[in-house]
Amino acid sequence: MTNLERAPNETVLRTGDPCATVEVLEPREVPLGGPRALTVYRALPHKTRSLVGAWCFLDHYGPNDVAKTGGMVVPRHPHTGLATVSWLFSGEIDHVDSGGNTARVRPGELNLMIAGSGITHQEISAHGSGELHGVQLWYALPEQSRHSPNGFVNYVPEPVSFGPLTARVFIGELFGSVSPVVTRTGDLLGAELRMSGGSSMSFSLRDDFEYALLAEDGPIKVGGVEVPQRAVAVIPTGSTTLEFEAGPQTTRVLLLGGVPLGESIVMWWNFVGRSHEEIVEYRARYQEEMGFEPLAPGHDSLPRLFGQFPPGQPAALPAPVLPNTRLKPRGSSRPANNSRPLA
pLDDT (tens digit per residue) in 143-167:
999 999 999 999 999 999 999 999 9
- Please, how many CA atoms are within 13 Å of residue 168, restricted to the half-sphere of its CB? 17
b/e per residue 299-331 (b: at least 16 CB within 10 A): eeeeeebbbebeeeeeebbebbebeeeebeeeb
Least confident range from 32-41, 139-148, 278-287: namely 32-41
Q: What is the 3-state secondary structure (H, E, C) of the chain?
A: CCCCCCCCCCEEECCCCCCCECEEECCEEEEECCCCCEEEEEEECECCECCECCEEEEEEEEEEEHHHHCCCEEEEEEEECEEEEEEEEECCEEEEECCCCEEEECECCEEEEECCCCEEEEEEECCCCCEEEEEEEEEECCCCCCCCCCEEEEECCCCEEECCEEEEEEECEECCEECCCCCCCCCEEEEEEEECCCCEEEEECCCCCEEEEEECCCCEEECCEEECCCCEEEECCCCCEEEEECCCCCEEEEEEEECCCCCCEEEECCEEECCHHHHHHHHHHHHHHCCCCCCCCCCCCCCCCCCCCCCCCCCCCCCCCCCCCCCCCCCCCCCCCCCCECC
Its pTM surpasses 0.85? yes
What does the alpha-carbon distance between residue 88 and residue 72 come to, in Å, rounded to a whole number? 12
Q: Which pLDDT score, from 0 to 100, does residue 9 have?
A: 55
Asked whether residue 28 carries a pLDDT value surpassing 60, the answer given is: yes
Model confidence pLDDT, tens digit, residues 195-253: 999 999 999 999 999 999 999 999 999 999 999 999 999 999 999 999 999 988 889 99
Least confident range from 40-49, 257-266, 308-317, 325-334: namely 325-334
Across the range 84-101, mean pLDDT stands at: 97
What does the alpha-carbon distance between residue 141 and residue 183 come to, in Å, rounded to a whole number? 9
Contacts of 49 (CB under 8 A, 6+ apart): 16, 23, 25, 234, 331, 333, 334
Give the model's confidence band at 16: pLDDT under 50 very low, under 70 low, under 90 confident, else very high: very low
Q: Which pLDDT score, from 0 to 100, does residue 13 have?
A: 38
Give the model's confidence band at 129: pLDDT under 50 very low, under 70 low, under 90 confident, else very high: confident
Respond yes or no on whether the N-terminal peptide bond of residue 63 is cis (omega within 30° of 0).
yes
Give the type of residue at 81.
G
Q: Which of 83, 37, 10, 3 is nearest to 323 (CA)?
A: 10
What does the alpha-carbon distance between residue 279 and residue 11 come to, in Å, rounded to a whole number? 11
Q: Is 179 within 8 Å of 169 (Cβ atoms)? A: yes
